[in-house]
Amino acid sequence: KAGVTQTPRYLIKTRGQQVTLSCSPISGHRSVSWYQQTPGQGLQFLFEYFSETQRNKGNFPGRFSGRQFSNSRSEMNVSTLELGDSALYLCASSLGTGEGLNEQFFGPGTRLTVL
Amino acid sequence: AQSVSQHNHHVILSEAASLELGCNYSYGGTVNLFWYVQYPGQHLQLLLKYFSGDPLVKGIKGFEAEFIKSKFSFNLRKPSVQWSDTAEYFCAVNLYGNNRLAFGKGNQVVVIP
């Protein structure tokens, strides 16, 4: 079956703008998590959505937000972009319940560059 | 604070050499443990996972890992590496029943033919 897809793959924005990234999970998966990957900080958890509700949240400022739709697709939004937001943003999906709660499958990521 | 530590960030090996990557975590409670691999230009892929049971876990491509609860460790091993094992390897941990993964900084492994 198809894997996790993310759009767009690459994005260039300027400081102060906002951006929306999209993630389509594996069919049947109800949990979507977002991570930020940078050379300095590594992989950091942003938030998780399950059944259209935010279930977990990492330590990122309120400029980072997300949502999940009834078909489990998820979007994350970053407002008032800063240079430090340049990163690879990864989406991961999982079943979200039972033992499968914890095995996450990652998408290819969206490379965001802020100028 | 909860954390995951991976040492020796850069590892260079010759083909057929053995590989061992260390992973230590600081978490209270029951944990799930993972090793992910990121090949050049590809996305993160799951190598192996530990939820419960036999602490010696076998994964794809000949990799295995051993969970030692008393040492809070989950070290990854491969007896004989190939050039195609060149990649970045990440250890990850979460609390049982929680999807929030904490990752180590990764090990960049280069295998020389």
Nearest to B43 among A48, A99, A108 (CB): A108
Q: B57 to chain A, minimum CA–CA distance in Å?
A: 15
Contact at 8 Å (CB) between A33 and A96? no
The one-letter code for the residue type at A53 is T
Measured CA to CA, the distance from residue A65 to residue A112 in angstroms comes to 16
Q: How far is CA A50 from the centre of its chain?
A: 13
Tens-place pLDDT, residues A62-79: 999 999 999 999 999 999
Cα–Cα nearest to A89, from A101, A100, A97, A81: A81
Q: What is the pLDDT of residues B3-20, one digit of tens each?
A: 899 987 899 999 999 999
How many Cα atoms are found within 13 Å in the side-chain-facing hemisphere of B80?
A: 1
Q: Do A99 and B43 touch (CB under 8 A)?
A: no
Enter the tokens of residue A72. 């489990």
Q: Which of A9, A32, A13 is nearest to A86 (CA)?
A: A13
A103 touches chain B (CB under 8 A): yes
Q: Check CB contact under 8 Å for B102 and A104.
A: no
Distance CA B90, CA B105 (A): 7
Could you report the per-residue pLDDT of B50-96, keeping only the tens digit for each? 988 999 999 999 999 999 999 999 999 999 999 999 999 999 998 77
pLDDT reported for residue A81: 98
In percent, the amount of chain B with pLDDT more than 70 equals 99
* DSSP letter (8 states) at residue B37: E
pLDDT for position A99: 64
Rounded to a whole number of angstroms, the distance between the first and last alpha carbons of chain A is 37
